[in-house]
Amino acid sequence: MTLSLESAPAPILAIETSCDETAVAIVAGRRVLSNVVASQIAAHQDYGGVVPEVASRQHLLLINACLAQALEEAQTDWADIGAVAATVAPGLVGALMVGVTAAKTLALCRRKPFLGVHHLEGHIYASYLSEPTLEPPFLCLLVSGGHTSLIRVEACGVYRQLGATRDDAAGEAFDKGARLLGLSYPGGPAIDRAAQGGNPRAFAFPEGRISLPGGGYHPYDSSFSGLKTALLRRVKALQEAGDPLPVADLAASFQDAIARALTQKTLRCAQDHGLKTLAVGGGVAANSALRARLRDACQEAGIQVYFPSLKFCTDNAAMIACAAAAHFERGERSSLELGVQSRLSLEATPSLYG
């Protein structure tokens, strides 16, 4: 169901600055009117990861231009905007403060309601942008640089975490693996590109199972630190033997181990909880091996799987606006005294609204 602009709810302007993407979007219901993302990859590339202070300064430099561009592309003005939203948690505190301060200032000056949005809820709502008919209940596999979780979505703001990583997130594992292989940052896309010419069965890497005290393994929780260590040992062994590093095969095998582990745990979780719909969100949702494995496994299991468009997998403000629109339509608002938080469980989302 695609809403026309005339029948759509009042547009929401949202700002996302939780990490290293400065993003502003305007969304009416589940229809994207504009989606501006200013990447900071070049600013952090030499460090091999995000430097919080650098990210905050970049947000300050980019936010005004992103706001102007979002309004221009949406061909709307402030009279049409229904509310202003911003990511308030979780994320880098300094980076979050830039976006939240800008959003609150706009809300005050333009006399608009303010909504603070949970970043992970935004990633859940990214699937709604590509599949507007999606409705709960469903299972969401959220995989990014900082999070790897299996979440039961009951309704707007009602979530239950069923599984999580015990150490590295999947995206973090990709970044660390890429550094070991001498690939560029960010690691996920770099490994995906390198793996295209490799053999995913060339090397056997562990799937990272979590042992239970009474025996057996946790059905839904994952671990990727051991996988990173296994890659490190393999690289060192090859280098000490004087052999050329088969980067394509190593990348393909490493990527396949992550995709295989996530697929197995996700399918079991969906089947155990009787959920016939799966939505995938987060930057790692763009990984080609994970998409292929999940599509094949879900088709065989009779589960409908939805992936966001690639532009909505990584951090963006359209997903934040979409989540904010759902809360706004329910009559929920946030206090202008709401602060940012580096950590906040997804289950605590209702606490963001008065």
Tell me: do 328 and 284 sit in the same domain.
Answer: no
7 domain residue, yes or no: no
Q: What is the DSSP string of 168-216?
A: S-HHHHHHHHHHHTTPPSSHHHHHHHHHTTS-TTSS-----PPBPTTSS
Please give the distance of CA 233 from its chain centroid, rounded to a whole number.
Answer: 30
Are 141 and 303 contacting, i.e. CB atoms less than 8 angstroms apart?
no
Instruction: Based on the fold, state whether residues 235 and 262 are members of the same structural domain.
Output: yes
* Residue 336 and residue 304 in one domain: no
Beta-carbon contacts of 233 under 8 Å, excluding residues fewer than 6 positions away, are: none
Domain shared by 151 and 106, yes or no:
no
CATH number at residue 305: 3.30.420.40
23 and 60 together in one domain: yes
Residue 6 lies in a domain: no
**Same structural domain, 17 and 116:** yes
Q: Tell me the β-bridge partners of 292.
A: none
User: Quick one: pLDDT at residue 7?
Assistant: 55
Instruction: Please name every residue paired with 89 in a beta bridge, in sequence order, or none if there are none.
Output: 118
pTM beyond cutoff 0.85? yes
64 assigned to some structural domain: yes
Series of mean pLDDT values for 10-residue runs along the chain (354 residues): 54 96 96 94 77 90 97 95 98 97 98 98 96 96 93 98 94 95 93 97 91 87 94 96 95 97 97 98 97 98 97 97 98 98 97 95
What's the DSSP call for residue 55?
Answer: H
Distance CA(183)–CA(191), nearest Å, equals 7
Query: Cα–Cα distance between 172 and 275 in angstroms, integer?
Result: 28
Count of domains for the chain: 2
Q: So what's the pLDDT on residue 8?
A: 60
Q: Examine residue 4 and state whether it is found in any structural domain, yes or no.
A: no
The range of the structural domain enclosing residue 155 comes to 138-311
**Statement to judge: residues 31 and 110 lie in one domain:** yes
21 with 144, same domain: the answer is no
Which tokens hold the place of 57? 């300064």
Conformation bin of residue 106: beta by default, left when phi > 0, alpha when psi is -120 to 50: alpha
**Residues forming a β-bridge with 85:** 14, 115
> Do 179 and 325 fall within a single domain?
no
Contact 181, 205 (CB under 8 A): no
CB 231 within 8 A of CB 178: no
User: pLDDT at position 287, please?
Assistant: 97
Domain membership of residue 295 (yes or no) is yes
Residues 100 and 210 occupy one common structural domain: no
Say if 1 falls within a structural domain: no
Whether residue 147 is found in the same domain as residue 21: no
- Does residue 5 lie within any of the structural domains? no
Check if the beta carbon of residue 250 is closer than 8 Å to that of residue 205.
no
Name residue 96's amino acid.
Answer: L
As to burial, measured by CB atoms within 10 angstroms (0-12 exposed, 13-18 middle, 19+ buried), residue 262 is buried
Q: Is residue 2 part of a domain?
A: no
Same domain, 79 and 63: yes
